[in-house]
Structure 1
Amino acid sequence: MSKKHHKESTNEIELEQGEDQIESVSQMIDEVLVLKKENNELQTTIANMQETVATADDKVLRAHAEMENIRRRAQKDVENAHKFALERFANALLPVLDSLEKAVEVSGESDEVKVMAQGVTLTMKMLVDTLEKFGVIQIDPIGEVFDPNKHEAMAMSPNPEMDDNMVMNVFQKGYELNNRVIRPARVLVVKN
């Protein structure tokens, strides 16, 4: 074989090897591009899943907080129900107590009426004491400063011996149950 032919043959072999290498590199680049695309898709999927997990965590925390709030409200409602269960019963007894007070007020001077008035007074005291045992406290604000939260002003009247907004007279005593007014005291207030 001639040198020329040998050189051409070597060049062709080198050229074929170079083309094979280029094709191999091209295939590698294609594989890298496919892997890069798959990697990007996986990164997007991971980001979406992380967002879904964060949203689910937030929902769980909110649901837990809501359940805790519901539990606290229910517990408070039960406590209030126990605390104020006597309110209706106490309100039903208050007119009886008012009638006893009026009976004592209108009692006359005769001995027989005085004895009966003493009995009514003792009965009234027993009723007030029993109500106090169960948290029903009498509001008798004579001589106190008028408090619109506990008193109902029925009238105003001048009285130079007392300051303005003082309770001069009580028409009807008020009552509160566990520091909650169930009936305000009806009063006459000083207005000079």
Structure 2
Amino acid sequence: MSATQEPVDPKQENQKPDTSEKLEVNEAPTEQAEESSEKGADQSGAAEEENLDAMLQAAQQEIARYHEELLRARAEVENVRRRAQEDVAKARKFGTEAFAESLIPVRDSMEAALALTDQSAEAWKEGVEATLRQLNGAFERNQMREVAPVPGDKFDPHFHQAISSVPSDQPEGAIVQVLQKGYTLADRVLRPALVMVSSGQA
């Protein structure tokens, strides 16, 4: 006779095997991986922070270098400006030095001529002509030239000043008469020539 089988509890029949121990065993490596990942992140963050600190120091050094160069450039500009002001002041003060030196012999000749009281008219004229030649030489050396148009020349408002307009045989706008010569200094008009201009035939 077969052994009597014990009735099976339906609840026990549907129960699954307990795997909690296995899960605990499997969870251990995951925690280790997370800890390892956190350590790696911490190391990476520290390395990145060191890198940022190095970049900041390099940038600060670069800024300091640029600031020093800027200060040097400003000092150089200030020196150039100061030297330019000194040169301008000297030019204003001594700009006519060469011209003045060239006029001294002219004055000497005039004083010498006036000191001679018993000279003839011809000798006086020769002395005046010699003095005039000295003066003309001084003008030429200092680029001072006369503006002396002749009748018939075209009127130029840059170098001539018309005193009046008169009817004449000359074409309209032509110079009829020169009343006073003008002068230029290095192409700059010191005094325009005073002229009378033709208004054409009456």
Amino acid at match of 1:23: E
What secondary structure does 2:42 align onto? helix
Normalized against structure 2, the TM-score is what?
0.52
Q: How many Å separate the matches in 2 of 1:145 and 1:83?
A: 38
Letter in 1 for 2:96: A
1:140 positional shift: 0.5
Letter in 2 for 1:156: S
Aligned twin of 2:96: 85
Shift of 1:72: 11
Separation in 2, partners of 1:25, 1:82: 83
Aligned to 1:191: 199
Distance (Å, rounded) in 1 between the aligned partners of 2:68 and 2:172:
62
Tell me, in whole angstroms, the C-alpha distance in 2 between the residues paired with 1:181 and 1:87. Answer: 19
Distance 1:83 1:185 in 2: 28
Native 8 Å contact 1:164 1:190 kept in 2 = yes
Matched, 1:27 2:39: yes
Q: Which residue of 2 aligns with 1:149?
A: 158
What is the rounded CA distance, in whole Å, between the counterparts of 1:116 and 1:10 in structure 2? 141
| Unaligned stretches of 5+ residues in structure 1 | 1-6, 93-111
CA distance in 1, matches of 2:91, 2:161: 25
RMSD: 5.2
Instruction: Write the letter of the residue equivalent to 1:45.
Output: L
Residue 33 to residue 115, structure 1, CA distance change in 2 (3 Å): closer
Looking at structure 2, the residues matched to 122 and 54 of structure 1 have their Cα atoms a distance apart, in angstroms, of 69
Distance in 2 separating the partners of 1:155 and 1:115: 40
For structure 2, the 5+ residue unaligned runs are 1-18, 104-119
Deviation per CA, 1:100-138: give whole Å up to 9, x if none: xxxxxxxxxxxx989977765665455334422432211
Task: Give, as a single letter, the amino acid of the residue that structure 1 aligns with 2:164.
Answer: A
* Residue correspondence of structure 1 range 39-54 to structure 2 within 5 A: 41-42=52-53, 45=56, 52=63
Q: Taking structure 1 as reference, are residues 16 and 123 closer, same or farther at Cα in structure 2, changes over 3 Å only?
A: closer
Residue 173 of structure 1, CA deviation:
0.8
Larger radius of gyration: 2
Using the alignment, how far apart are the partners of 1:76 and 1:149 within structure 2? 31
Partner residue, 2:9: none
User: Out of 175, 180, 185, which is 2:188 matched to?
Assistant: 180
**Residue pair 1:87, 1:177 contacting (<8 A) in 2 also:** no
Between the aligned partners of 1:46 and 1:148, the Cα distance in structure 2 is: 69
Sequence identity (%): 23
Query: Do the aligned residues in 2 keep the contact of 1:150 with 1:184 (CA within 8 Å)?
Result: yes
Which of the two has greater helix per residue? 1
The answer on whether the counterparts of 1:174 and 1:184 sit within 8 Å (CA) in structure 2 is yes
CA distance, structure 2, for counterparts of residue 147 and residue 57 of structure 1? 57
